[in-house]
């Protein structure tokens, strides 16, 4: 083969390689675009094809957070599960939830149920003081406290519909309650089966959820919203904030 033919062959080979790379990148880009579109469609479907008969004003969907505080104590019929107080409407659900864990081989502890605004003030102050004791500046201590503890009037514990529930083994290692409790199968069981009893993991660990709730991941905090709502929200990865927004949009249309 002459040098001229060799040069032509090399050039042809490079052109062929360039075409193949271009096609591969184009195909990937099209696929990526399709995936993004699919994800957006799934999100839209999740917030439009909502369960029938559910209203944003239902008692089990009451929202209390930093953006929707309630500075007056909420009146409801109280009931006890062990030594903890909850809204009577969810008493049996809490009992069944813990019994279900027991049947699966996991002993659990109901760490907290209803908390009054006054008690929430104590909780907030204690965590704040502990952060300052650990050497954090006043400003940083306050910011860190707000990440894990709702300010008084902003905690859904005052509804009696929220519980802190932990596997005994997870609680023994992390008595202060931390997200790492989900390393234990007992806590994973609670998270995975909460919807069966009408509860959702209120503060998930993904960044989108943290942005929506304003609270860091809490593997122990469960909120009663009813079985239908809980299963739908969990299946579609919707926080209570987003779910209520979607319900209100449906009601307004």
- Residues with active-site annotation: 218
What is the rounded (10 degree) CA torsion for 63, 67, 71, 77? 10
What tokens appear for 194 in the block?
Answer: 């909460």
Are the CB atoms for 157 and 113 separated by under 8 Å? Answer: yes
Relative to beta strand 108-112, strand 218-224 is: unpaired
User: Cβ–Cβ contacts within 10 Å for residue 20, how many?
Assistant: 10
Specify the DSSP element, H or E, that contains 249.
helix 240-252
Under the phi-then-psi rule, with left for phi > 0, alpha for psi from -120 to 50, and beta for the rest, what region is 112?
Answer: beta
How far apart CA 220 and CA 184 sit, in angstroms, is 12
Chain centroid offset of residue 215 CA: 9
């Amino acid at each position: 083969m002459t040098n001229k033919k060799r040069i032509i062959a090399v050039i042809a080979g490079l052109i062929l390689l360039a075409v193949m790379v271009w096609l591969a990148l184009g195909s990937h880009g099209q696929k990526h675009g399709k995936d993004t579109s699919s994800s957006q469609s799934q999100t839209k479907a999740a917030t439009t094809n909502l369960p029938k008969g559910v209203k944003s004003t239902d008692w089990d969907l009451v929202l209390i957070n930093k953006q929707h505080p309630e500075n007056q104590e909420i009146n409801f019929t109280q009931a006890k599960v062990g030594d903890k107080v909850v809204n009577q409407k969810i008493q049996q659900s809490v009992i069944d939830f813990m019994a279900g864990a027991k049947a699966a081989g996991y002993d659990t502890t109901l760490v907290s149920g209803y908390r009054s605004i006054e008690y929430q003030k104590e909780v907030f102050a204690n965590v704040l003081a502990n952060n300052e004791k650990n050497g954090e500046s006043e400003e940083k201590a306050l910011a860190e406290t707000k990440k894990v503890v709702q300010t008084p009037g902003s905690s859904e514990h005052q509804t009696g519909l929220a519980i802190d529930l932990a596997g005994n083994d997870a609680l023994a290692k992390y008595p202060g309650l931390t997200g790492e409790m989900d390393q234990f199968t007992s806590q994973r069981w609670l998270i995975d089966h909460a919807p069966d009893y009408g509860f959702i993991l209120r503060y998930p660990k993904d960044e989108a959820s943290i942005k929506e709730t304003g609270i860091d991941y809490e593997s122990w905090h469960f909120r009663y919203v009813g079985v239908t709502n809980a299963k739908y929200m969990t299946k579609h990865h919707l926080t209570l904030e987003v779910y209520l927004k979607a319900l209100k949009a449906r009601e307004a249309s």
